[in-house]
Each structure stands twice: as C-alpha cells, then as structure tokens.
Amino acid sequence: MSESLINYTLHLADNALILGQRNSEWCGHGPVLEQDIAITNISLDLIGQARSLYQYAAEKMNAAAGKEHPAVTEDTLAYYRTEREFKNCLLTEQPRGDWAQTVLRQFFFSTYQYYLYQQLQQYADTNLAAIAEKSLKEVSYHLRWSSEWVIRLGDGTDESNRRMKEAVNELWRYTGELFVPAPYEKELGIDPGSMQADWMKKVSAVFEEATLQVPEKIFMQTGGKTGVHSEHLGYILTELQYVQRTYPGCEW
C-alpha cells in the first residue's frame, strides 16, 4: 500500500510538472501580453502543485527506506529520474503546438484535474486530501480560462476553427489514458474511470458552444502511467534536468 501511494503521488506530481514545463515554453511568446502572463501563471501553479506532491512522496520514500539510504528530495525526484521512471500521462508531454493545441490540452487536463481533486479532497490520506483541496482553487481557474479559449477559437474565424479541429484530431487519442487505472491506483481503491462521465459531459458542453464535434471512438494511446512514453518526454527532461545533471547538487 505504501509503495502504491508513493507511485500514485509521483504520478500526480509528474503530470503537473511535465505540463507546467510544456506551458512554460510560451513564456515571452504568447499571442498577447495578457495571455502570455496567464499561461505562465498556470505553469507556475502546476509546478507549485508538483512541488507539494514531490515533497510528500519524498517524505514517504525516506520513511520507508530508513536512515541508511541517502535522503530523497523534491529535487532528486524531478531532476534525477529517467523517462521510464516518470508516470505522467501521455497527454501532458505532447509537443507545445500552436495556441489552439495548448489551450485544448489544458482544457482536457484541467477538466480531469477538477473532478479528480474533488474526489481526492475526501480521500483517506489527509496529506493528499489537503494538497487536492489547495490545488482545486487553482484548477478551477485553469478550467475556466481554457474552456473560454476553446469556445473563443472554435466559434471564431474559419482559421481558428480549423486549428481547433486539428488540435482535437491530434490530442483526443491521449485522453482515454486519463481514465484507465494503473496498478497502483487499483491497489489504492482509486477509480479514475468513475470521473469519465462527468469529464465527457463538460467537454461535450464546451464543444457544443465552440461548434466542435466530439470524435467518434478511436484507438486510445496509453502507457505513460506505467513509464512507457512517447519520444517527446526525453526532450523535455533533457532541457528540464540539464543544469542539475551538469552541476549535481547545485542550489539557487
């Protein structure tokens, strides 16, 4: 149970860190200054969530390992694990793409996080519950912001509608994994599939207003939760981990 809790906490942290890193690529490159600041703040929110979760995972790992092993920290968990050790969903690691792809991915993920953190607020582990409660306030804003952009682009010009449709075609195949339980989720009694109906209801409502179609059933890509990733994660980690791996143990 303890190992499963650590793996699940790392899964939540990895999701937030990798998506935060992806969104940070827009810093200084947003379509307008206000939205440049907005997406950067969302990145900071996600990285803040990742820090809280990594700190908790490190605490559990150190308690399990005992004093004879080197202490694990949030930094070692973020900077010294390899691709196969990361447990983020494939959706979070896909290329930045254009603005349409970025806001759609954020919408898909924030909708998932919104219902997930609502459930985790009631979870038996009080530390996870507290992190979920604190993070839910941020996620509520992320969901509102991203859904407004999906509607704005989908129901905008011919060009913006075309780009949103392309984003849907590119990203939809990665949404199914959100609701497929990994072994560590099963052992903890966490069923992400129980949120799928609510997620689909919200997505369908926003898509209707955005004049977008929910795709027909297609083959869903999976594997990220258990460490099987796309080639994109390696490039993210190369950039993310470069300084710490080049100058081990450095601190700001």
Residue-wise pLDDT tens digits, 19-78: 999 999 988 888 887 888 999 999 999 999 999 999 999 999 999 887 767 789 999 999
Decide if pLDDT at 252 tops 70: no
Whether residue 177 lies inside any domain: the answer is yes
Residue 95 backbone phi and psi in degrees, to 5: -55, 150
pLDDT at res. 217: 85
Paired tokens of 202:
């919200």
Q: Supply the pLDDT for residue 1.
A: 60
The tens digit of pLDDT for each residue in 173-214 reads 999 999 999 999 999 999 999 999 999 999 999 999 999 999
- Residue 229: left if φ>0, alpha if ψ -120 to 50, beta else—which one? beta
pLDDT tens digits for range 123-138: 999 999 999 999 999 9
Mean pLDDT of 153-176: 97
Amino acid at 146: S
Query: pLDDT of 87-125, one tens digit each?
Result: 999 999 999 999 999 999 999 999 999 999 999 999 999
| d(C-alpha 19, C-alpha 181), whole Å | 20
83 pLDDT tier (thresholds 50, 70, 90) = very high
Residues of the chain with pLDDT > 70: what percent? 98
Residue 252 lies in a domain: no
How many domains are contained in the chain?
1
User: Among candidates 14, 193, 22, 180, which has minimal Cα distance to 88?
Assistant: 14
d(CA 58, CA 38): 30
In angstroms, the Cα distances linking 50 to 46, 138, 148, 179, 246 are: 6, 13, 25, 20, 23
For residues 159 and 31, the answer to whether their CB atoms sit within 8 Å is no
Q: Taking Cα atoms as reference points, which of 110, 89, 86 lies closest to residue 222?
A: 89
The reply to whether 251 falls in a domain is no
Q: Report the distance separating Cα 190 and Cα 118, nearest Å.
A: 13
Q: In this structure, is residue 232 part of a structural domain? A: yes
The verdict on residue 70 lying in a domain is: yes
> Is residue 12 in some structural domain?
yes
Q: What is the pLDDT at residue 82?
A: 95
Give the CATH number, domain containing residue 133.
1.20.1260.10
Q: Are 38 and 145 in contact (CB under 8 A)?
A: yes
The residue with greater pLDDT, 86 or 245, is 86
The boundaries of the domain holding residue 31 are 2-246
Please give the pLDDT value at position 178. Answer: 98
